[in-house]
Protein backbone atom coordinates (compact mmCIF):
# COMPACT_ATOMS: atom_id res chain seq x y z
CA UNK A 1 0.00 0.00 0.00
CA UNK A 2 1.26 3.50 -0.82
CA UNK A 3 2.38 5.68 2.09
CA UNK A 4 0.78 9.10 2.26
CA UNK A 5 3.44 11.80 2.46
CA UNK A 6 3.06 15.57 2.84
CA UNK A 7 4.88 17.40 0.04
CA UNK A 8 6.14 20.96 0.42
CA UNK A 9 7.87 22.07 -2.81
CA UNK A 10 9.17 25.24 -1.10
CA UNK A 11 10.50 28.26 -2.97
CA UNK A 12 13.62 29.41 -4.84
CA UNK A 13 15.07 26.24 -6.39
CA UNK A 14 12.62 24.19 -4.29
CA UNK A 15 10.02 23.52 -7.02
CA UNK A 16 12.77 22.53 -9.54
CA UNK A 17 14.54 20.05 -7.28
CA UNK A 18 11.19 18.73 -6.01
CA UNK A 19 9.94 18.11 -9.56
CA UNK A 20 13.16 16.24 -10.35
CA UNK A 21 12.88 14.12 -7.20
CA UNK A 22 9.25 13.21 -7.87
CA UNK A 23 10.14 12.16 -11.41
CA UNK A 24 12.85 9.87 -10.06
CA UNK A 25 10.66 8.35 -7.35
CA UNK A 26 7.91 7.66 -9.83
CA UNK A 27 10.33 6.03 -12.27
CA UNK A 28 11.65 3.87 -9.42
CA UNK A 29 8.15 2.71 -8.44
CA UNK A 30 8.19 4.20 -4.94
CA UNK A 31 4.85 3.61 -3.23
CA UNK A 32 4.01 7.14 -2.22
CA UNK A 33 0.77 9.09 -2.37
CA UNK A 34 1.65 12.79 -2.19
CA UNK A 35 -0.40 15.37 -0.37
CA UNK A 36 0.94 18.70 -1.58
CA UNK A 37 0.49 21.56 0.87
CA UNK A 38 1.55 25.15 0.50
CA UNK A 39 3.70 26.47 3.33
CA UNK A 40 2.11 29.57 4.83
CA UNK A 41 3.74 31.40 7.66
CA UNK A 42 3.07 29.98 11.12
CA UNK A 43 5.79 32.17 12.57
CA UNK A 44 4.75 33.88 15.77
CA UNK A 45 1.51 31.87 16.16
CA UNK A 46 0.66 30.32 19.50
CA UNK A 47 1.15 26.54 19.58
CA UNK A 48 -2.60 25.79 19.37
CA UNK A 49 -3.07 28.15 16.39
CA UNK A 50 -0.02 26.72 14.63
CA UNK A 51 -1.49 23.24 15.06
CA UNK A 52 -4.59 24.33 13.11
CA UNK A 53 -2.43 25.28 10.09
CA UNK A 54 -3.11 22.95 7.09
CA UNK A 55 0.59 22.11 6.67
CA UNK A 56 1.07 21.22 10.33
CA UNK A 57 -2.19 19.22 10.36
CA UNK A 58 -1.12 17.33 7.24
CA UNK A 59 2.33 16.53 8.66
CA UNK A 60 0.89 15.37 11.97
CA UNK A 61 -1.62 13.17 10.16
CA UNK A 62 0.77 11.64 7.62
CA UNK A 63 3.72 11.64 10.04
CA UNK A 64 6.14 11.99 7.11
CA UNK A 65 6.97 14.94 4.85
CA UNK A 66 9.33 15.75 1.98
CA UNK A 67 10.20 19.41 1.95
CA UNK A 68 11.93 21.78 -0.45
CA UNK A 69 13.76 24.81 0.98
CA UNK A 70 11.84 27.84 2.22
CA UNK A 71 13.51 31.25 2.01
CA UNK A 72 14.65 32.68 5.32
CA UNK A 73 14.56 36.48 5.45
CA UNK A 74 17.88 37.97 6.57
CA UNK A 75 18.06 40.69 9.22
CA UNK A 76 14.55 42.07 9.15
CA UNK A 77 11.01 40.73 8.98
CA UNK A 78 9.58 37.49 10.29
CA UNK A 79 11.62 34.64 11.63
CA UNK A 80 12.30 31.50 9.66
CA UNK A 81 9.34 29.29 8.76
CA UNK A 82 11.75 26.32 8.72
CA UNK A 83 12.62 27.01 12.36
CA UNK A 84 8.96 27.53 13.29
CA UNK A 85 7.98 24.20 11.70
CA UNK A 86 10.73 22.31 13.52
CA UNK A 87 9.63 23.82 16.81
CA UNK A 88 5.90 23.34 16.30
CA UNK A 89 6.34 19.69 15.32
CA UNK A 90 9.13 19.18 17.86
CA UNK A 91 11.44 17.80 15.17
CA UNK A 92 14.32 17.81 17.58
CA UNK A 93 16.93 15.70 15.79
CA UNK A 94 18.47 16.87 12.55
CA UNK A 95 20.37 14.06 10.84
CA UNK A 96 22.79 14.92 8.03
CA UNK A 97 24.89 12.14 6.52
CA UNK A 98 27.90 13.49 4.62
CA UNK A 99 29.60 11.23 2.08
CA UNK A 100 31.69 11.57 -1.04
CA UNK A 101 30.02 10.84 -4.34
CA UNK A 102 32.06 9.06 -7.01
CA UNK A 103 33.61 11.35 -9.59
CA UNK A 104 33.12 14.60 -7.65
CA UNK A 105 36.59 16.08 -7.19
CA UNK A 106 37.25 17.03 -3.56
CA UNK A 107 40.38 17.32 -1.41
CA UNK A 108 39.61 14.05 0.41
CA UNK A 109 38.22 10.69 -0.70
CA UNK A 110 36.05 8.48 1.48
CA UNK A 111 34.61 11.13 3.76
CA UNK A 112 31.79 9.41 5.61
CA UNK A 113 30.43 11.14 8.67
CA UNK A 114 27.06 11.76 10.22
CA UNK A 115 25.97 15.02 11.81
CA UNK A 116 23.38 15.21 14.57
CA UNK A 117 22.26 18.76 15.13
CA UNK A 118 19.92 19.76 17.96
CA UNK A 119 17.02 21.41 16.18
CA UNK A 120 14.83 23.25 18.67
CA UNK A 121 16.77 25.63 20.90
CA UNK A 122 20.14 27.41 21.31
CA UNK A 123 20.43 30.85 19.66
CA UNK A 124 17.50 29.82 17.45
CA UNK A 125 15.16 30.57 20.36
CA UNK A 126 14.43 33.87 18.60
CA UNK A 127 14.68 35.69 21.94
CA UNK A 128 16.38 38.89 20.91
CA UNK A 129 15.76 42.42 22.08
CA UNK A 130 17.26 45.86 22.04
CA UNK A 131 18.56 46.63 25.51
CA UNK A 132 19.25 50.26 24.57
CA UNK A 133 20.09 51.89 21.24
CA UNK A 134 23.23 50.21 19.92
CA UNK A 135 23.03 47.24 22.30
CA UNK A 136 21.15 44.04 21.46
CA UNK A 137 20.77 40.94 23.59
CA UNK A 138 20.23 37.52 22.00
CA UNK A 139 19.47 34.61 24.28
CA UNK A 140 21.04 31.18 23.91
CA UNK A 141 18.76 28.61 25.52
CA UNK A 142 20.19 25.18 26.32
CA UNK A 143 18.22 22.66 28.37
CA UNK A 144 19.23 19.33 29.86
CA UNK A 145 16.11 17.76 28.34
CA UNK A 146 16.83 18.79 24.72
CA UNK A 147 20.57 18.10 25.07
CA UNK A 148 19.99 14.61 26.47
CA UNK A 149 17.44 13.58 23.83
CA UNK A 150 19.65 14.61 20.89
CA UNK A 151 22.60 12.83 22.53
CA UNK A 152 20.47 9.71 23.00
CA UNK A 153 19.46 9.89 19.33
CA UNK A 154 23.10 10.11 18.24
CA UNK A 155 24.27 7.22 20.43
CA UNK A 156 21.34 5.01 19.43
CA UNK A 157 22.02 5.78 15.79
CA UNK A 158 25.73 4.99 16.24
CA UNK A 159 24.88 1.63 17.79
CA UNK A 160 22.21 0.77 15.19
CA UNK A 161 24.40 1.67 12.21
CA UNK A 162 27.72 0.25 13.42
CA UNK A 163 29.37 3.61 13.98
CA UNK A 164 32.30 3.64 16.39
CA UNK A 165 32.52 7.10 17.90
CA UNK A 166 30.36 10.09 18.87
CA UNK A 167 32.15 13.45 19.13
CA UNK A 168 30.39 16.30 20.95
CA UNK A 169 31.29 19.73 19.57
CA UNK A 170 31.24 22.70 21.93
CA UNK A 171 32.71 25.98 23.16
CA UNK A 172 32.40 25.19 26.86
CA UNK A 173 35.69 26.94 27.60
CA UNK A 174 33.82 30.22 26.96
CA UNK A 175 30.13 29.30 27.41
CA UNK A 176 30.74 27.33 30.54
CA UNK A 177 27.13 27.04 31.65
CA UNK A 178 25.24 26.50 28.39
CA UNK A 179 27.75 24.38 26.48
CA UNK A 180 28.80 22.87 29.80
CA UNK A 181 25.23 21.61 30.25
CA UNK A 182 25.19 20.23 26.70
CA UNK A 183 28.40 18.28 27.38
CA UNK A 184 27.26 17.12 30.79
CA UNK A 185 24.05 15.75 29.23
CA UNK A 186 26.01 13.92 26.51
CA UNK A 187 28.37 12.38 29.09
CA UNK A 188 25.45 11.10 31.15
CA UNK A 189 23.84 9.52 28.09
CA UNK A 190 27.15 7.95 27.07
CA UNK A 191 27.20 5.89 30.29
CA UNK A 192 24.56 3.61 28.75
CA UNK A 193 26.66 3.14 25.59
CA UNK A 194 30.02 1.69 26.68
CA UNK A 195 30.36 0.07 23.24
CA UNK A 196 30.54 3.51 21.56
CA UNK A 197 33.61 5.70 22.03
CA UNK A 198 32.85 9.26 23.13
CA UNK A 199 35.02 12.37 22.93
CA UNK A 200 34.66 16.15 22.86
CA UNK A 201 36.19 18.87 20.72
CA UNK A 202 36.04 22.66 20.76
CA UNK A 203 34.16 23.94 17.71
CA UNK A 204 36.97 26.05 16.24
CA UNK A 205 39.45 23.19 16.50
CA UNK A 206 36.78 20.87 15.06
CA UNK A 207 36.51 23.06 11.95
CA UNK A 208 40.27 23.03 11.45
CA UNK A 209 40.48 19.25 11.98
CA UNK A 210 37.59 18.70 9.57
CA UNK A 211 39.36 20.48 6.73
CA UNK A 212 42.71 18.81 7.50
CA UNK A 213 41.70 15.30 8.45
CA UNK A 214 37.96 14.61 8.18
CA UNK A 215 38.50 10.86 8.50
CA UNK A 216 39.06 11.16 12.22
CA UNK A 217 35.36 11.95 12.69
CA UNK A 218 32.47 9.52 12.69
CA UNK A 219 29.27 10.86 14.35
CA UNK A 220 29.24 14.56 15.27
CA UNK A 221 26.87 15.79 17.98
CA UNK A 222 26.20 19.52 17.97
CA UNK A 223 23.98 22.25 19.30
CA UNK A 224 21.77 24.05 16.80
CA UNK A 225 24.04 26.92 15.66
CA UNK A 226 27.32 24.97 15.56
CA UNK A 227 25.39 22.25 13.72
CA UNK A 228 24.21 24.70 11.08
CA UNK A 229 27.69 26.07 10.43
CA UNK A 230 29.61 22.79 10.62
CA UNK A 231 27.05 21.15 8.28
CA UNK A 232 27.83 23.63 5.51
CA UNK A 233 31.56 23.13 6.11
CA UNK A 234 31.09 19.37 5.82
CA UNK A 235 28.99 19.83 2.67
CA UNK A 236 31.95 21.73 1.24
CA UNK A 237 34.19 18.77 2.00
CA UNK A 238 32.20 16.50 -0.31
CA UNK A 239 31.49 18.92 -3.15
CA UNK A 240 28.92 21.42 -1.92
CA UNK A 241 25.42 22.02 -0.69
CA UNK A 242 23.79 20.41 -3.71
CA UNK A 243 24.83 16.98 -2.45
CA UNK A 244 23.96 16.64 1.22
CA UNK A 245 20.59 15.26 2.39
CA UNK A 246 18.93 15.67 5.74
CA UNK A 247 16.12 14.51 7.99
CA UNK A 248 14.33 16.35 10.79
CA UNK A 249 13.14 13.71 13.19
CA UNK A 250 10.79 13.86 16.17
CA UNK A 251 8.56 11.48 18.06
CA UNK A 252 5.43 12.47 16.14
CA UNK A 253 6.70 12.99 12.61
CA UNK A 254 9.70 13.20 10.29
CA UNK A 255 10.41 15.79 7.62
CA UNK A 256 13.09 15.06 5.02
CA UNK A 257 14.88 17.97 3.35
CA UNK A 258 18.18 18.96 1.78
CA UNK A 259 20.75 20.84 3.86
CA UNK A 260 20.80 23.70 1.34
CA UNK A 261 18.55 26.75 1.32
CA UNK A 262 16.42 28.18 -1.48
CA UNK A 263 19.47 29.39 -3.48
CA UNK A 264 17.72 32.46 -4.94
CA UNK A 265 20.83 33.23 -7.04
CA UNK A 266 20.15 30.23 -9.29
CA UNK A 267 16.37 29.81 -8.91
CA UNK A 268 14.29 29.23 -12.04
CA UNK A 269 17.33 28.58 -14.26
CA UNK A 270 17.09 24.79 -14.42
CA UNK A 271 20.61 24.17 -13.22
CA UNK A 272 20.14 23.50 -9.50
CA UNK A 273 21.51 20.17 -8.39
CA UNK A 274 18.61 17.98 -7.16
CA UNK A 275 20.91 15.32 -5.62
CA UNK A 276 20.49 16.54 -2.03
CA UNK A 277 16.71 16.31 -2.17
CA UNK A 278 16.87 12.98 -4.04
CA UNK A 279 19.11 11.56 -1.30
CA UNK A 280 16.75 13.02 1.32
CA UNK A 281 13.96 11.07 -0.41
CA UNK A 282 16.16 7.94 -0.15
CA UNK A 283 16.34 8.49 3.64
CA UNK A 284 12.57 8.99 3.63
CA UNK A 285 11.88 5.76 1.74
CA UNK A 286 14.03 3.80 4.22
CA UNK A 287 12.08 5.44 7.05
CA UNK A 288 8.86 4.30 5.33
CA UNK A 289 10.13 0.72 5.10
CA UNK A 290 10.75 0.88 1.33
CA UNK A 291 14.42 -0.04 1.58
CA UNK A 292 14.67 -1.90 -1.73
CA UNK A 293 13.46 1.00 -3.85
CA UNK A 294 15.60 3.37 -1.75
CA UNK A 295 18.68 1.23 -2.50
CA UNK A 296 17.87 1.23 -6.24
CA UNK A 297 17.56 5.00 -6.32
CA UNK A 298 20.77 5.52 -4.34
CA UNK A 299 22.70 3.16 -6.63
CA UNK A 300 21.31 4.94 -9.71
CA UNK A 301 22.46 8.32 -8.35
CA UNK A 302 25.93 6.89 -7.68
CA UNK A 303 26.02 5.37 -11.20
CA UNK A 304 25.15 8.73 -12.75
CA UNK A 305 28.00 10.34 -10.81
CA UNK A 306 30.40 7.54 -11.71
CA UNK A 307 29.54 7.95 -15.40
CA UNK A 308 30.02 11.71 -14.95
CA UNK A 309 28.48 12.72 -18.31
CA UNK A 310 25.45 14.63 -17.10
CA UNK A 311 26.51 16.44 -13.97
CA UNK A 312 25.24 19.87 -12.93
CA UNK A 313 27.43 23.00 -12.83
CA UNK A 314 28.02 23.05 -9.07
CA UNK A 315 29.99 19.80 -9.41
CA UNK A 316 31.84 20.76 -12.58
CA UNK A 317 29.37 19.60 -15.24
CA UNK A 318 27.19 21.43 -17.74
CA UNK A 319 23.90 19.56 -17.45
CA UNK A 320 20.58 21.06 -16.46
CA UNK A 321 18.53 19.81 -13.51
CA UNK A 322 16.36 17.88 -15.94
CA UNK A 323 19.24 16.35 -17.90
CA UNK A 324 20.87 15.12 -14.69
CA UNK A 325 17.53 13.67 -13.56
CA UNK A 326 17.12 11.86 -16.88
CA UNK A 327 20.63 10.43 -16.48
CA UNK A 328 19.76 9.07 -13.02
CA UNK A 329 16.52 7.59 -14.35
CA UNK A 330 18.50 6.09 -17.25
CA UNK A 331 20.91 4.48 -14.76
CA UNK A 332 17.96 3.17 -12.77
CA UNK A 333 16.38 1.60 -15.84
CA UNK A 334 19.72 0.15 -16.99
CA UNK A 335 20.11 -1.53 -13.58
CA UNK A 336 16.59 -2.96 -13.70
CA UNK A 337 17.18 -4.37 -17.24
CA UNK A 338 20.66 -5.58 -16.32
P1 LIG B 1 19.37 29.51 3.92
O2 LIG B 1 19.67 30.72 4.72
O3 LIG B 1 17.99 29.52 3.26
O4 LIG B 1 19.73 28.22 4.59
P5 LIG B 1 21.92 29.60 2.63
O6 LIG B 1 22.39 30.96 3.01
O7 LIG B 1 22.48 28.40 3.36
O8 LIG B 1 20.32 29.57 2.64
P9 LIG B 1 21.73 28.47 0.06
O10 LIG B 1 20.42 28.91 -0.48
O11 LIG B 1 21.79 27.08 0.57
O12 LIG B 1 22.22 29.50 1.14
O13 LIG B 1 22.84 28.68 -1.05
C14 LIG B 1 24.24 28.84 -0.77
C15 LIG B 1 25.02 28.70 -2.07
O16 LIG B 1 25.00 27.34 -2.51
C17 LIG B 1 24.42 29.54 -3.21
O18 LIG B 1 25.43 30.07 -4.00
C19 LIG B 1 23.62 28.51 -4.00
O20 LIG B 1 23.51 28.82 -5.37
C21 LIG B 1 24.41 27.22 -3.79
N22 LIG B 1 23.48 26.07 -3.77
C23 LIG B 1 22.65 25.73 -2.77
N24 LIG B 1 21.93 24.65 -3.11
C25 LIG B 1 22.32 24.31 -4.35
C26 LIG B 1 21.91 23.27 -5.25
N27 LIG B 1 20.97 22.36 -4.93
N28 LIG B 1 22.50 23.21 -6.46
C29 LIG B 1 23.46 24.09 -6.80
N30 LIG B 1 23.88 25.09 -6.00
C31 LIG B 1 23.31 25.20 -4.79
Any idea what the CATH number is for the domain that residue 125 is in? 3.40.718.10
CA 308 to ligand 1 centroid distance, Å: 22
* Pair (79, 163) in one structural domain: no
Q: Is 11 left (phi over 0), alpha (psi -120 to 50) or beta?
A: beta
d(CA 153, CA 186) in angstroms, rounded, equals 11
Query: Which domain range does residue 4 map to?
Result: 1-102+241-338
CA 164 to ligand 1 centroid distance, Å: 31
| Residue positions annotated with a catalytic role | 124, 171, 204, 228
CA 240 to ligand 1 centroid distance, Å: 9
* Pair (280, 315) in one structural domain: yes
d(CA 94, CA 110) in angstroms, rounded, equals 22
pLDDT digits (tens, 9 = 90+) for 262-320: 999 999 999 999 999 999 999 999 999 999 999 999 999 999 999 999 999 999 999 99
Specify the residue with its C-alpha closest to ligand 1, atom 9. Answer: 261
Band of residue 51 on the pLDDT scale cut at 50, 70, 90 = confident
Q: Is 115 helix (H, G, I), strand (E, B) or coil?
A: strand
Q: Specify burial of residue 304 (Cβ count, 10 A radius: 0-12, 13-18, 19+).
A: buried
Verify whether ligand 1 is closer than 6 Å to residue 273 (CB atom). yes
Band of residue 75 on the pLDDT scale cut at 50, 70, 90 = low
pTM score: 0.92
Average pLDDT over residues 3-21: 96
> How many structural domains are present in the chain?
2
Average pLDDT over residues 76-84: 68
CA 267 to ligand 1 centroid distance, Å: 10
Ligand 1 atom closest to the CA of 264, numbered from 1: 10
Residue ending a domain, among 237, 260, 293, is 237
User: What's the mean pLDDT when you consider all of the chain?
Assistant: 93
What does the pLDDT read at residue 38?
83
* Pair (133, 228) in one structural domain: yes
pLDDT over 70 (residue 41):
no
Specify the residue with its C-alpha closest to ligand 1, atom 20. Answer: 263
- Give, for ligand 1, the residue of 94, 235, 263 to mutate: max count of ligand atoms closer than 8 Å to Cβ: 263
* Pair (220, 260) in one structural domain: no
User: 273, 243 in Cβ contact below 8 A?
Assistant: yes
pLDDT over 70 (residue 191):
yes
Verify whether ligand 1 is closer than 6 Å to residue 263 (CB atom). yes
Amino acid sequence: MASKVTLIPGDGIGPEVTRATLRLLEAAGAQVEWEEVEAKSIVGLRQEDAHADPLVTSLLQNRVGLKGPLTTPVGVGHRSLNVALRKTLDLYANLRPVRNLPGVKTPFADVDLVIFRENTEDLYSGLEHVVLPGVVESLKIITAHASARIALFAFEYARAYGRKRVTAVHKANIMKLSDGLFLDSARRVHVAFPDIEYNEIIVDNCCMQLVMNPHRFDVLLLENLYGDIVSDLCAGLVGGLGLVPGANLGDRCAVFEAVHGSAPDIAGKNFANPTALMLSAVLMLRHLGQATVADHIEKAIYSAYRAGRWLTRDVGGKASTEEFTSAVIGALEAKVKG
